[in-house]
């Protein structure tokens, strides 16, 4: 089971050294549920990521549906970043996803200044995909 975002924030606040935070991000990725092999498709691949990242979106019913995400990556640190994004966005209503600022969370966790430009771009691509899926869910029900 993935860690809730508040627990991740709390754990990060206890870690002073970047190396400890880096290891923790990897541990978060290791805690992701297994990703189905049949979902590793071009349609589920997130473009703009240097590492391979796959994201599957499931939406509930209603005008403002709850959306759940499942994701994976072939790189350890990126898999951990996927886990953080899933903790931030998965299981929330589409309108909440739309109003959630991932950049603020990354800054709060100190990840904004420790990610390579390529990883930061990949993370932005993942957030863009998540928000696009939430927007599409809201439009479907309008």
> Cα-flanking dihedrals φ and ψ of residue 73, to 5°?
-145, 160
Contact 116, 123 (CB under 8 A): no
**d(C-alpha 107, C-alpha 110), whole Å:** 5
State the catalytic residues. Answer: 49
Domain boundaries, the chain: 5-141
Q: What percent of the chain shows pLDDT beyond 90?
A: 75
pTM of the model: 0.92
pLDDT in tens, 56-85: 999 999 999 999 999 999 999 999 999 999
- The band of 1, judged by pLDDT with boundaries at 50, 70 and 90, is very low
Instruction: Show the tokens assigned to 98.
Output: 């739309």
Segment 103-116 mean pLDDT: 86
Question: Please, which residues bridge with residue 59 across strands?
Answer: 67
pLDDT in tens, 10-26: 999 999 898 999 999 99
Please tell me the predicted confidence (pLDDT) of residue 142. Answer: 58
Contact 85, 8 (CB under 8 A): no
**d(C-alpha 72, C-alpha 86), whole Å:** 10
Name the percent of the chain in helix, strand, coil, to the closest 5. 55, 15, 30
Task: For domain 5-141, give the CATH number.
Answer: 3.90.1010.10
| Arithmetic mean of pLDDT over the chain | 92
């Amino acid at each position: 089971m993935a860690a809730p975002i508040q627990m991740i924030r709390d754990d990060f606040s206890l870690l002073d050294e970047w190396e400890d935070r880096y290891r923790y991000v990897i541990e978060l990725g290791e805690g992701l549920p297994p990703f189905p092999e049949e979902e590793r498709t071009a349609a589920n691949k997130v473009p703009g990521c240097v590492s391979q990242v796959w994201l599957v979106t499931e939406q509930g019913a209603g005008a403002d549906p709850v959306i759940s995400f499942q994701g994976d990556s072939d790189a350890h640190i990126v898999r951990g970043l996927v886990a953080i994004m899933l903790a931030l966005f998965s299981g929330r209503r589409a309108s909440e996803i739309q109003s959630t600022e991932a950049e603020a969370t990354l800054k709060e966790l100190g990840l904004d200044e420790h990610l390579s430009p390529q990883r930061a771009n990949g993370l932005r691509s993942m957030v863009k995909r998540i928000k696009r899926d939430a927007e599409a869910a809201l439009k479907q029900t309008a």
